Amino acid sequence: MDFKKIVQERRSIKYFDANHKMTKDEVNELFKMTVLSPTAFNIQHWRFDVIENRELREEIKKISFNQSQVTDASLLVVISGDLDAWKKNPKKYWKNADENVQKMMESMITDFYINKKEMQRDEVMRSCSMAAMTMMLCAKNMGYDSCPMDGFDFPELSKLLQFPKNQIPVMFVAIGKKLQDAWPRGGQLNLNQVVNFRE
């Protein structure tokens, strides 16, 4: 599909065909593309929980305002982020670079994040959000629709999925075959309201 068309036609879909299953090859391809998303210092803070267990999906639905996407989408991905990824052997994020670059990046990463809790959290949110957008655009290119979701109880989800303290949920992405089109776009702001050219 033409990329411009993918961007124009990607919409947040609320109702999915609960009988449709994605193949393992399709899911693998989706994640291969998703993890090519950018992250600061190549830290790759994201973690992806693919919820396949039907009972667990029902439990998640209960803490997600009973939204049908949770149980009916072919794929439910819980995207979370590791707040401590920056300090877990940071040299590994540059393992394909030469030793001097690895040491330099390790030092830069540590200096940039140490004692900066807000920055650590902000980077997780940015990285996970970029990955989610890549995932949704790739899904559209594969003939699937998607819905980013943050309508759920974040602390309860962390308990339900037994996330460690340093891992925080960011959003869900539900992917599948739509049953209904999205509503017409609510109205985009004019470019001159959101784009500021500074000469």
Domain layout of the chain by residue ranges: 3-193
* Distances 188 to 54, 138, 146, 194 between C-alpha atoms, Å: 37, 23, 20, 10
Angle at 9 between CA 3 and CA 10, to 5 degrees: 90
Quote the pLDDT of residue 46: 97
Average pLDDT over residues 129-152: 98
The letter for the amino acid at 131 is A
- Residue ranges with strand state E in the chain: 46-50, 75-82, 145-149, 167-176
pTM: 0.96
Distance CA 66, CA 96 (A): 45
Distance CA 2, CA 197 (A): 28
Quote the pLDDT of residue 1: 75
Determine what percent of the chain is predicted with pLDDT higher than 70: 100
What's the token pair of residue 166?
Answer: 């340093």
Quote the pLDDT of residue 198: 95
Quote the pLDDT of residue 129: 98
Quote the pLDDT of residue 174: 98
The domain defined by 3-193 carries CATH number 3.40.109.10: yes
Average pLDDT over residues 167-173: 98
Average pLDDT over residues 66-71: 98
